């Protein structure tokens, strides 16, 4: 069983805490799998994804699950600033925690997938924590959102905007299209981007397939590497909760991706 360090505070707010699971019996510093929970930027909790630690720590990974402040009480960019701070906390304490910060995998589900990709690609947030993009070995985004402008209110009727998403997102990101563009990982995909593994479910949120394909295309156009996986017979939630063995298509493809970035 992995050893667990729960509710490590990386800030003063009660949501600014993380759980860290360390592989049992490992003497060498462990590579970090940093997983950001979903919940639409307005909900969710780190504890909902702890099963991933049971799957990954036997392979030598330390697995971190940060919480972060939630909208609308704390609108964007509180969420991306917090997950960056959580990673910065782990980097600053890497020696004491026996972590290897040279090849971090950033990962997340739903809004957490958006935050993982944005943290890897946006030039400001890693720098604010004295981290370098070269320290990010790869990104795993499950059911993530990469082009928020698609769901901006102005997109309705002009490129497939989804009205219920537009109303929901306004409480998080405001109404300025420039803010939506700046918060979109797609905007920041450029040369030197880390490899991405982009998974979505057959019965996912509207446009999840187009989001993943567009992000893959933008990364590849910049000279990067990205893989898209469509998981059949799953929805936005069961894409993870439906995994029952390491032979599951999502588990197999995740393992192959992790091996490719070692």
pTM: 0.96
Q: Per residue in 128-138, pLDDT tens?
A: 999 999 999 99
Question: pLDDT band at residue 162, thresholds of 50, 70 and 90?
Answer: low
d(CA 3, CA 229): 32
In terms of CATH architecture, what is 3-147+192-260?
3-Layer(aba) Sandwich (3.40)
Cα distances (angstroms) measured from residue 187 to each of 45, 121, 139: 27, 9, 16
Placement of tokens 């004491």 in the chain = 96
pLDDT at 156: 55
Give the pLDDT score at 158.
41
pLDDT in tens, 49-88: 999 999 999 999 999 999 999 999 999 999 999 999 999 9
Q: Could you tell me which residue, 167 or 76, shows the higher pLDDT? A: 76
Q: 86-127 pLDDT, tens per residue?
A: 999 999 999 999 999 999 999 999 999 999 999 999 989 999
Q: Distance between CA atoms of 62 and 15, rounded to whole angstroms? A: 21
Listed by start position, the domains of the chain span 3-147+192-260, 148-183
């Amino acid at each position: 069983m992995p050893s667990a360090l729960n509710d490590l505070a990386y800030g003063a707010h009660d949501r600014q805490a993380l759980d860290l699971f360390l592989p049992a019996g490992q003497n060498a510093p462990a590579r970090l799998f940093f997983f950001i929970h979903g919940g639409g930027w307005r909900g969710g909790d780190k504890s909902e994804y702890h099963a991933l630690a049971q799957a990954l720590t036997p392979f030598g990974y330390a697995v971190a699950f940060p919480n972060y402040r939630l909208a609308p009480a704390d609108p964007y960019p509180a969420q991306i600033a917090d997950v960056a701070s959580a990673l910065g906390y782990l980097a600053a304490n890497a020696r004491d925690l026996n972590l290897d910060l040279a090849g971090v995998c950033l990962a997340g589900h739903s809004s957490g997938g958006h935050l993982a990709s944005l943290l890897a690609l946006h030039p400001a947030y890693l720098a604010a924590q004295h981290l370098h993009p070269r320290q990010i070995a790869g990104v795993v985004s499950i059911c993530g959102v990469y082009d928020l402008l698609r769901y901006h209110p102005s997109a309705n009727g002009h490129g497939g905007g989804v009205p219920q998403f537009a109303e929901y997102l306004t409480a998080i990101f405001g109404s300025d299209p420039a803010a939506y563009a700046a918060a979109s990982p797609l905007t920041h995909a450029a040369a030197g981007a880390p490899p991405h593994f982009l998974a979505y479910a057959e019965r996912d949120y509207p446009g999840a397939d187009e989001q993943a394909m567009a992000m893959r295309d933008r990364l590849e156009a910049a000279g990067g590497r990205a893989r898209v996986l469509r998981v059949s017979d799953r929805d936005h939630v069961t894409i993870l909760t439906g995994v029952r063995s390491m032979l599951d298509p999502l588990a197999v493809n995740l393992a192959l991706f992790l091996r490719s970035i070692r």
